[in-house]
Structure 1
Amino acid sequence: MVDLTEQERAALRAAIRAMAEVMAEIGWTTPLNALSEQQVLTLAEVAVGAFQDAMRPSCPSTSPEVPF
């Protein structure tokens, strides 16, 4: 297991909240193996995007690279 920083844990919580919104639209009782490819891709995009958005403040504003 990876030792996460508190900021990374907070970013994961943000990602989970964003994924929960998508799952609410899909339906919480829908089994994961019943999701369409597009639904899975949407979940992944939302999770990664929310994580990156939450981590972005940790990036020096002078750097064009994202350090995570």
Structure 2
Amino acid sequence: MVDLTEQEKAALRHAVKMLAEVMEEIGWETRLIDLTETQVLTLAEVCVGGFQDAMLATAKGDDTEVPF
């Protein structure tokens, strides 16, 4: 198990919210095996993109100076 930072946990929560939006469109009753390839790829893209966006937003808010 990986020990996630608070920023990573927040980014995962954001990614799950984005996933939920796509699942609303697909339908929560749809079994994973019944998803099309396009739907699976969309879910993956939304999750990864949401995580990356949230991490980037956190990094932009960090005023830590580079030590060189």
TM-score if structure 2 supplies the norm length? Answer: 0.84
Once residues 27 and 35 of structure 1 are traced to their aligned partners in structure 2, the CA distance between those partners, rounded to angstroms, is 10
User: How far does the alpha carbon of each residue in 1:4-31 deviate from its partner, in whole angstroms, 9 at most, with x for none?
Assistant: 0011000000000000000000000000
For structure 1, the 5+ residue unaligned runs are 61-68
Runs of 4+ in 1 over 3 A off after TM superposition: none
For structure 2, the 5+ residue unaligned runs are 63-68
Q: Where do residues 23-34 of structure 1 align in structure 2 (5 Å cutoff)?
A: 23-34=23-34
Q: What is the aligned-residue RMSD (CA, Å)?
A: 1.6
Q: Where do residues 16-55 of structure 1 align in structure 2 (5 Å cutoff)?
A: 16-55=16-55
Identity between Structure 1 and Structure 2 (%): 67
Instruction: Considering fraction of residues, name the structure with more helix.
Output: 2
TM-score if structure 1 supplies the norm length? Answer: 0.84
Q: Which residue of 1 aligns with 2:11?
A: 11
How many pairs are equivalent? Answer: 61
